[in-house]
Amino acid sequence: MAYQDHIIEMSQLIKSKNGTWDGINPESVARMRLQNRFKTGLEIARYNAAIMRKDMAAYDLDPTKYTQSLGCWHGFIGQQKMISIKKHFGTTDRKYLYLSGWMVAALRSEFGPLPDQSMHEKTSVPALIEELYTFLRQADARELGLMFRDLDAARAAGDKKREQEIIDAVDNYQTHVVPIIADIDAGFGNAEATYLLAKKMIEAGACALQIENQVSDEKQCGHQDGKVTVPHEDFIQKIRACRYAFLELGVDDGIIVTRTDSLGAGLTKQIAVSHEPGDIGDQYNSFLDCEEVAPSDMKNGDVVLNRNGKLLRPKRLPSNLFQFREGTGADRCVLDSITSLQNGSDLLWIETEKPHVEQIASMMDRIREVIPNAKLVYNNSPSFNWTLNFRQQVYDAYKAAGKDVSAYDRDKLMSIDYDATELAIEADEKIRTFQADGAKRAGIFHHLITLPTYHTAALSTDNLAKRYFGDEAMLGYVKQVQREEIRQGIACVKHQNMSGSDIGDDHKEYFAGEAALKAGGVHNTMNQFA
């Protein structure tokens, strides 16, 4: 509804109350309504699910239209990211947020910092989703509030043209509220537990849930060792649980992202149920590391498989886990991905050990032979040493092409001594184009960095502490932080405004009129940053 339509609607409603609501200003109500576009998390989920579906369709037609996100561990971080995006690019199109289970565990658990092993309380995930959207909605309220103040100034100056320009901008306002891809880990338990958690996450605003095929109580970070996968039928139950949650809550366009950790997972806790040769259980079991045995070779407690009339004994570790054959990871990833898409998944996630476009593409090519429009969410992980990986990729390409690489030590390519070399410059260019190249060649619809703001918070705090507690003292803060905020136009330099002080002043004026005691008077030190 347009700005003027809100005013008209409120004017009619106030008039109908026979004078008892005459203290209510219809334009003030219109402003408050527009500053609070979304009333519930479900409204947010439905709105953003439609956006993601539109973006997915656009990508199918043009792979240059891929999407991106950064992992954010606090509402303020997510808010500042979206404010920055609007400032620099003028639009939030194809820019999402990622909610990292790793960062929830490390930074938001009531137990304190934890590894990414599903040990944090599950309620912390929907709580963070709600927090992120609270901050994003406040960013809307703040920015629109500034526009309304400009509108009042234009009216006071009698500038009709400027007044209409601002009203048009208000009517075409783009919200900071964007899709969040939210990590539900391995579901924190059985399918019922997954369904219950999914509901809470959707009610908080999540339009996209990412779930992985690890055993819930054995969960490890995707870039750590010791990962244990579940048979496909177990995982399919959880996919269905997420879909039921979406459908129950009326978010019919909800997105399910299914992640496979099979590339780095060499273990399973279960032998899959198989009813006939070639079924999905049989395919899962076919990757087990087995030895053929005769009945006389069997020991007490042995588990054996019957395959084509042969008795096979899977390799069983002291941990009571079963081991997959070496070199089967890629094949398992392909099977996992196809099976997920055939059972209700919308997007794939293949966790890899390095950022290599052709490695990813080699699996996606096989998946797309079966499902042509298969699309990938890819983790541009800080767990990768990007500099070293890409310098080694260029080194290997040089060597394969017969180019002289005698000036380089492959194992020491991280060294600063190589920064200005042809190899390092080419590697940096490949890093710069990795997202575009991956989107075009490997079906990557969404590029995310799982935990970048964990690292930026650590780096910026280290730089400030080094300077402030060192010789620079107060200049360390002023020169490196405040002065840069002012010169780069960082909105947070006016921290009172960012916290909502001006919004509060506006409300005080609505409620009390001329009697309002406002914080933003002549003595407010924020005026120094005008």
Contacts of 44 (CB under 8 A, 6+ apart): 38, 133, 177, 205, 207
Query: Sheet of 228-229: strands edge to edge?
Result: 228-229, 267-268, 322-323
Give the phi and the psi of residue 451 in degrees, each rounded to 5: -135, 50
Supply angle C-alpha 301, 304, 309, rounded to 5.
Answer: 145
CA dist 39 and 424 (Å) reads 50
CA 314, chain centre distance (Å): 38
CB contact at 8 A, 169 and 147: yes
* DSSP, residue by residue, 204-225: TT-SEEEEE-B-GGG---TTSS
Per the listing, tokens 């921290």 go with: 495
Contacts of 525 (CB under 8 A, 6+ apart): none
**Residue 188: closest CA among 153, 217, 229, 224:** 217
Residues annotated as catalytic (active site), given as ranges:
221
By the 10 Å C-beta count (0-12 exposed, 13-18 middle, 19+ buried), 64 is classed as exposed
* DSSP, residue by residue, 231-259: -HHHHHHHHHHHHHHHHHTT-TT-EEEEE
